[in-house]
Structure 1
Amino acid sequence: MTAKDHMARAEHLPNAERFARALLEWYDTHRRDLPWRGTRDPYAIWVSEIMLQQTQVARVAEYFARWMARFPTVQALAEASLDDVLKLWEGLGYYSRARNLHKAAKVIVEERQGRFPRTAAEWQKLPGVGPYTAAAIASIAFGEPVAALDGNLKRVLARVCLVETPINTPEGTRLLHDIAQALVPSQRAGDWNQALMDVGAEICTPRSPRCLLCPVQTHCAAAAHQRQHDLPRRRARGKRPHYLVTAALIWNEAGQLLIAQRPHDKMLGGLWEFPGGKCEAGETLDACLRREIREELGIEIEVGEHLTTVEHAYTHFSITLHAFHCRYVGGEPQALGVADWRWVFPDELDAFAWPSTDAKIIATLRAAQLTAESED
């Protein structure tokens, strides 16, 4: 069924004006008190929307306050170094978001003379800004009547309109986008988007929706047909692959560690790490580590004591990371498969931005050093 066909079924599409009125009246009284609301500053709204991608609101609130204190304007962000940006983002994950914020800030300042885009179409021309983020910024900051279709809106509208198409498919996304765009009001579009986000986050939740508290229950076809618990539908995903990975804490005679910066165009680009990599089929951990260090840095190492094992799940795969103490044997380090490298003392590690896996290795290293010092 096409979006046009679906919307032609009037019993499953609420009256747009009455739906918006009920939603906005509820929002005026029950909206969440979030630090980026109550402003029309496109910079603050843009930063908040980027941070909110794949991240819980409570966690974003903490980072947002620090970010705005350190980079209060787009000019301040554009003038900052990427290392400073990544360090401030450290722990928030999905680091391409920070890199793209930095790139886009430079575009706005250097190519647009500090002028922000005003429409969703213009926002999408900037690095890291997709359809949802562009619509959210344009509607909230500039009042453009565009629907910002995030996970919450998808779930709410799939229930309201009794959408049977799996929402995690291209067909489902197109259908729900057309439905949302048919319902978004010409006035207060930003509030309408945020109201639906709040309903999805606090009332129309994935499990055990609180229908009796919902401001649009009387407009909801799923509630009327007692279908709210089995909608929305999702297409089952394939099994997430798992990889065995190694990392080397390479020590020289001066007591320094060799750290490497990940290539800027790769996953976690620009972050620093203990060098290593993925094991090949049938390869031992020791052999993997020696090969990876040779390929990435052009040096020879001796693999020593195992320090720790870290389990970590990313969006599309998971890893088991084994970290080893290693001794630097020879060769001049080169940036062969890394963006940069440095010898640093352990007490200098906090000056760099690390992926969460390597941050756990550092924590284990320091705990082991404290234990050793207490025993001496």
Structure 2
Amino acid sequence: MLVDASNALLTWYDAHKRDLPWRAVAEEIADPYRVWLSEIMLQQTMVAAVRPYFHRFTTLWPTVEDLAAADEAEVMKAWAGLGYYARARNLIACARAIVAQHGGRFPNSEAELLQLPGVGRYTAAAIAAIAFGRRAVVVDGNVERVVSRLFAVKEALPGAKNRIYDRTDAITPAHRSGDFAQAMMDLGATICVPKTPACGICPLHSFCAARAEGDPARYPIKAKKAERPTRIGHAYWLERGGEVLLVRRPAKGLLGNMLAFPSTEWTEAVPAGAAPARAPWEQAGSIDYVFTHFALTLHLHCAMTDDDGGDGIWWPVDMLEEAGLPTVFAKLIARGRAWRSDQRLGLRQDI
């Protein structure tokens, strides 16, 4: 059954694989740099969102040596909007480690790949299998869903991860393991989807225990998630002569080393912190944003000034989209511009 299932999936993949910019074409050998870059970008991110970023990065930095030599601020700016910014910092650290420790060549074993910054079990296995043709067990969210249904795994995630890994290991072939891994991902992304799996056209339908039970959509079983705490913060739009003050966030921590509006800490209580300058601050609304581990309500305060506003970078208001602000701060731009428009119309609403 296991060999038959693997063969059926590979046959389907040969006819139906997705056309993705990071995949090798026809008989080409996969480029480890492109495989690695795409796998880092695709972590918890949809393919459609990754495509333009992958194109941007491979245009700006075509090789791992180019990326290793890049200015970190420029890399963070190019990453802006893709989220999970620790990935970008690890990307730079990993590229530099590959150049410094491996002469610019990716190691080809899982054990060596696991020693690189930002490379975990899944990413190491994906690079080893796809870029180097090694047999490796590749398990991402799509594979978890396919395998949990194929074997009707009753244990809930995340506790079931080891069981699902073992089941994936059992069906991973010795040859074409890279194609097999990509086939599993494609199957989960296009047919064995979360809510309405298209079992009628699935190449594994005759092997699937969940389909035999009659309710494949109940898998994978997931433990109830804890509610996200809500945090509060205040951000400041300080404008002078058509420019607004931006600051670079600390290198370590959330959104590290990225340009942003000055802000208080984000806390569950009323946040403490001073505005970046003494000015007649006015409220300009708020935005809600959800991070992985908490939800944030961020209030915007705006003011005009003739002073320099302290340390920071004065950025033209009309060019803020080019600053590479992380999404949570980019969402404030429209509110800041609406406030300045009201100023011109004399519609001040002082606090």
TM-score, normalising length: structure 2:
0.90
1:99 aligns with one of 86, 89, 92: 89
* Correspondence for 2:297: 320
Write out per-residue CA displacement over residues 342-364 of structure 1, whole angstroms, 9 at most, x where no aligned residue.
Answer: 34443464453211121122233
Q: Which amino acid aligns with 1:193?
A: A
CA distance in 2, matches of 1:330, 1:372: 18
* Correspondence for 2:15: 29
Q: Which amino acid aligns with 1:174?
A: N
TM alignment of 1:163-312, pairs within 5 A: 163-169=153-159, 172-251=160-239, 256-278=243-265, 283=270, 288=271, 291-293=272-274, 300-302=277-279, 304-312=281-289
Name the SS for the 1:152 alignment partner.
Answer: helix
Name the SS for the 2:90 alignment partner.
Answer: helix
2:47 aligns with one of 41, 54, 57: 57
- C-alpha deviation, 1:333, in angstroms: 3.8
Q: Which amino acid aligns with 2:196?
A: S
Aligned residues: 343
Name the SS for the 2:216 alignment partner.
Answer: coil
Determine whether 1:86 maps to 2:86. Answer: no
1:43 aligns with one of 12, 30, 33: 33
The answer (yes or no) to whether the contact 1:302–1:329 under 8 Å persists in 2 is no
* Correspondence for 2:336: 365
Determine whether 1:74 maps to 2:61. Answer: no
Q: Which amino acid aligns with 2:334?
A: A
Task: Give the direction of change, closer, same or farther, for the CA distance of 1:374–1:328 in structure 2 (3 Å limit).
Answer: closer
CA distance in 1, matches of 2:308, 2:274: 11
Runs (5+) with no aligned partner, structure 1: 1-14, 335-340
CA distance in 1, matches of 2:249, 2:190: 38
- C-alpha deviation, 1:202, in angstroms: 1.0
- C-alpha deviation, 1:18, in angstroms: 1.0
Name the SS for the 1:35 alignment partner.
Answer: coil
Task: Give the direction of change, closer, same or farther, for the CA distance of 1:331–1:205 in structure 2 (3 Å limit).
Answer: closer
The answer (yes or no) to whether the contact 1:301–1:327 under 8 Å persists in 2 is no
* Correspondence for 1:354: 325
- C-alpha deviation, 1:147, in angstroms: 1.4
Write out per-residue CA displacement over residues 33-76 of structure 1, whole angstroms, 9 at most, x where no aligned residue.
Answer: 11111251000011111111111111111211121111100011
The answer (yes or no) to whether the contact 2:233–2:263 under 8 Å persists in 1 is yes
* Correspondence for 1:9: none
Q: Which amino acid aligns with 2:41?
A: M
Name the SS for the 1:224 alignment partner.
Answer: helix
The CA RMSD over aligned residues, in Å, is 2.5
Q: Which amino acid aligns with 1:220?
A: C
* Correspondence for 1:16: 2
CA distance in 1, matches of 2:232, 2:54: 34
The answer (yes or no) to whether the contact 1:251–1:258 under 8 Å persists in 2 is yes
Q: Which amino acid aligns with 1:307?
A: A
The answer (yes or no) to whether the contact 1:247–1:274 under 8 Å persists in 2 is yes
TM-score, normalising length: structure 1:
0.84
The answer (yes or no) to whether the contact 2:134–2:177 under 8 Å persists in 1 is yes
Determine whether 1:144 maps to 2:134. Answer: yes
* Correspondence for 2:349: none
